[in-house]
Amino acid sequence: MDMCRVAVLTYQVFRHGDRAPMAGSTSRESESYYFRGKEQLTDKGLQQAYQLGLSLRRRYVDNGFLDARFLPSQVVFRSSPVERCLMTASAAASAMFNLTEDGRPIAVPIFTVPKKDDYVCVPRLECPFVVKEMAETLGLSSPSPTMYDLLIELFKQESKRLNYTRVVGNRLHLFEPLFLEHDAGLAVPQWFDDEARKEADHLLDLTIEFLSGTATFHNPSWIITRSGKLLSTIARNHKKAVEQSLGGVKFFAFSTHDATISALLDSLGILKEALAPQGRPDFTAAIAFEVWRNDSGHYVK
């Protein structure tokens, strides 16, 4: 006979949706397509976030776990203060719940804190101790390298190690925007062919591994500055859920970044399995933690 199972609490940790290149656009067509500006969410990213919200609705609202009218006492959305994360959280939240009686989307509150104070949703990429170790890993002797310096050195070393023929020299500054522009169906230079895309794809994977301290660059000291506070927050609230001291909250959502997602997966020992075949989280990639209760007690799945 099956034991009675009851869902108690769920956490969703997800990456923002499709965005404009970090390094800016490479053409006027690209500037027009990415009209919100560098690093901002695209219309495609908004649609991805909305679809994420619909999947969360099917999982947690349609079955009655959460009230379809949206009750603030049940649901907490928290986001990195970066606009693309805030927009992703807002779009996903609006898709989860019913329209109001006059047919308007519900404006679900999204909680955030200033970037300098956010240790939960913002990976601390420029922690001085970690930056020093990153420079040492690359053999850089510069006394105060910037993250840009570190990444360019990383790309130079890897392209040389793998004997790249396309993404080399000055092109190391261009592969990220060109990769995204190509994905968006925009025109790219003739040299950015299938081989160049393959090289760029690997460098993008390597970038996230380096920034998150995972896979090739696995380092617990780096990982803890990327996702340690988030993981401890989840664990602490799991304990509160078991103690029934969360005041009725049943759903937490965290809108964050790829380095946070990768670091969290590595902390759980499931990085490779979760991300295969590529080495970085997709846009709106999500990790779900669910606390359940049965006749034997509480457990997480």
Active-site annotation holds for 16: yes
In the sheet where 297-300 sits, what is the strand order?
110-111, 75-79, 251-256, 6-15, 286-294, 297-300
> Which pLDDT value is given to residue 228?
98
* pLDDT at res. 1: 39
Considering only CA atoms, which of 3, 32, 11, 8 is closest in space to residue 20?
32
Please give the backbone phi and psi of residue 8, each rounded to the nearest 5 degrees, phi first: -110, -45
Q: Which residue is it, tokens 């846009």? A: 283
- In words, the CATH class of domain 6-123+225-300 is alpha beta
**Residue ranges covered by each domain of the chain:** 6-123+225-300, 128-220
Whole-number Å distance between alpha carbons of 186 and 102: 40
- Active-site residue identified among 16, 202, 238, 257: 16
pLDDT tens string, the chain, 301 residues long: the values are 346 788 999 999 999 999 999 988 999 999 999 999 999 999 999 999 999 999 999 999 999 999 999 999 999 999 999 999 999 999 999 999 998 889 898 999 999 999 999 999 999 999 999 999 999 999 998 888 999 999 999 999 999 999 999 999 999 999 999 999 999 999 999 999 999 999 999 999 999 999 999 999 999 999 999 999 999 999 999 999 989 899 999 999 999 999 999 999 999 999 999 998 888 999 999 999 999 998 888 888 8
Task: Enter the DSSP assignment of 217.
Answer: G
Examine the residue annotation and report whether 298 is marked as an active-site residue of this protein.
no
Measured at the CA of 252, the angle between CA 248 and CA 256, to 5 degrees, comes to 165
Strands 251-256 and 75-79: parallel
Query: Cα–Cα distance between 88 and 151 in angstroms, integer?
Result: 27
Q: Which of 18, 118, 258, 266 is catalytic?
A: 258
Q: Is the dihedral of CA 10, 15, 18, 19 positive or negative?
A: positive
